[in-house]
């Protein structure tokens, strides 16, 4: 009887610690969530009423109520496209090379370490490098191309790392099966490695772009303008060959810079504009990340080994 009492007391004591830890964890989680929620709600209350159709089709203006984010979202869009075009082929190719081709020795480990380091470098450093390389050395100017290349470099490590992770998830038995059939390395990559990892790669790409879309510091460093009341040259025109890439060399602004610009003005009406831009930016990031999660779960269901 005595022993049984002891046993119960022992269980109670340990259950109390269970409870204490669960409570601490929950509080920590709530703290993070409530802070985030408060920020978002505050932003939404200020910004959402300002969002209407005009807001998207107006250029910035001296009058807060007439100002819009047309040049900003078009700029963001053009830069995202340029970034994707630069970073995806480079990042995926580098990831495939590191996983499937390169010898696993100390050099590859050194490279791996450096890629992870690159992913953690402050983004302004990329801006400084881009200013020296793209703007001054290569004379690309303060253009959409420069911005796209800069952000491309910034997200390259993220794409490489996620590509490698997606490839590593493919079991070795699949590689062996392919090689045992007499396939070459490229055939194995082309018929198996790339198709089976495309879901993971796509997820990584979207996540990296959603990071790039919010970047401000490197673009300010390369000299992005904060007030732009015109659009880049349209890529389609009436003359043969009907397509041009002049827009790549045009100056730009992006949504976070526009936001920063409005925030730095004294008039409170412009702060409302900034909040509205913030809401739009937040929604875009949310949609992109949601899409990434959806794609990942879809591909996971499809892939059974």
Residue 114: partners with Cβ closer than 8 Å, 6 or more residues away: none
Burial class (CB in 10 A: 0-12, 13-18, 19+), 163: buried
Check residue 133 for interaction with another protein (CB under 8 A): no
Q: Could you tell me the two tokens for 166? A: 């997606």
For the segment 185-214, give every residue that binds another protein (CB under 8 A): 187, 191-192, 196
Binding-site residue total for another protein (CB under 8 A)?
Answer: 24
Check residue 177 for interaction with another protein (CB under 8 A): yes
236 φ, ψ (degrees, to nearest 5): -110, 135
In the complex, least distance from residue 88 CB atom to another protein, rounded to whole angstroms? 23
In the complex, least distance from residue 113 CB atom to another protein, rounded to whole angstroms? 20
List 133, 175, 235, 272, residue binding another protein (CB under 8 A): 175
Check residue 12 for interaction with another protein (CB under 8 A): no
In the complex, least distance from residue 181 CB atom to another protein, rounded to whole angstroms? 4
Q: Which stretch binds another protein (CB under 8 A): 51-59, 120-128, 141-149, 173-181?
A: 173-181
Q: Which stretch binds another protein (CB under 8 A): 12-20, 74-82, 150-158, 296-304?
A: 296-304
Check residue 1 for interaction with another protein (CB under 8 A): no
Q: Which stretch binds another protein (CB under 8 A): 65-73, 142-150, 161-169, 297-305?
A: 297-305
In the complex, least distance from residue 92 CB atom to another protein, rounded to whole angstroms? 20
In the complex, least distance from residue 41 CB atom to another protein, rounded to whole angstroms? 44
Based on CB atoms, which residue is closest to another protein, 33 or 177? 177
Check residue 184 for interaction with another protein (CB under 8 A): yes
- SS3 assignment for the chain: CHHHHHHHHHHHHHHHHHHHHHHHHHHHHHHHHHHHHHHHHHHHHHHHHHCCHHHHHCCCCCCCCCCCCHHHHHHHHHHHHHHHHHHHHHHHHHHHHHHHHCCCCHHHHHHHHHHHHHHCCCHHHHHHHHHHHHHHHCCCCCCHHHHHHHHHHHHHHHHHHHHHHHHHCCCHHHHHHHHHCCCCHHHHHHHHHHHHHHHHHHHHHHHHHHHHCCCCHHHHHCCCCCCCCCCCCCCECCCCCCECCHHHHCCCCCHHHHHHHHHCCCCHHHHHHHHHHHHHHHHHHHHHHHHHHHHHHHHHHHCCC
Check residue 174 for interaction with another protein (CB under 8 A): yes
For the segment 97-116, give every residue that binds another protein (CB under 8 A): 103-105
Based on CB atoms, which residue is closest to another protein, 105 or 239? 105
Check residue 304 for interaction with another protein (CB under 8 A): yes
Q: Could you tell me the two tokens for 233? A: 């040259």
Q: Which stretch binds another protein (CB under 8 A): 110-118, 124-132, 171-179, 272-280?
A: 171-179
Rounded to 5°, the CA angle 177-102-205 comes to 85
Based on CB atoms, which residue is closest to another protein, 178 or 208? 178
Check residue 183 for interaction with another protein (CB under 8 A): yes
The residues binding another protein (CB under 8 A) are: 103-105, 171, 173-184, 187, 191-192, 196, 302-305
């Amino acid at each position: 009887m005595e022993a049984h009492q002891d046993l119960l007391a022992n269980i109670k004591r340990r259950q109390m610690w269970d409870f204490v830890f669960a409570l601490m964890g929950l509080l920590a989680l709530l703290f993070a969530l409530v802070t985030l929620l408060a920020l978002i709600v505050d932003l939404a209350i200020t910004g959402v009423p300002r969002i209407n159709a005009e807001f998207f089709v107006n250029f910035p203006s001296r009058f807060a109520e007439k100002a819009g984010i047309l040049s900003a979202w078009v700029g963001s869009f053009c830069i995202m496209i340029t970034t994707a075009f630069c970073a995806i082929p480079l990042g995926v190719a580098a990831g495939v090379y590191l996983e499937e081709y390169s010898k696993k020795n100390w050099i590859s480990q050194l490279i791996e370490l450096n890629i992870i380091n690159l992913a953690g470098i402050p983004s302004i450093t990329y801006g400084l490098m881009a200013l020296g390389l793209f703007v001054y050395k290569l004379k690309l100017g303060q253009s959409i191309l420069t911005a796209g290349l800069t952000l491309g470099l910034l997200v390259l490590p993220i794409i490489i790392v996620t590509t490698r992770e997606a490839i590593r998830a493919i079991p070795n038995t699949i590689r062996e099966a392919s090689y045992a059939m007499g396939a070459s390395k490229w055939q194995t990559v082309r018929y198996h490695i790339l198709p089976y990892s495309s879901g993971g790669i796509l997820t990584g790409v979207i996540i990296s772009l959603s990071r790039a879309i919010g970047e401000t510091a490197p673009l300010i460093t390369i000299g992005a303008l904060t007030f732009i009341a015109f659009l880049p040259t349209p890529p389609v025109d009436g003359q043969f060959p009907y397509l041009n890439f002049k827009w790549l060399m045009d100056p730009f602004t992006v949504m976070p810079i526009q936001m920063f610009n409005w925030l730095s003005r004294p008039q409170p009406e412009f702060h409302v504009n900034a909040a509205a831009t913030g809401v739009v930016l937040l929604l875009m990031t949310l949609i992109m990340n949601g899409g990434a999660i959806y794609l990942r779960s879809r591909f996971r269901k499809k892939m059974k080994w």
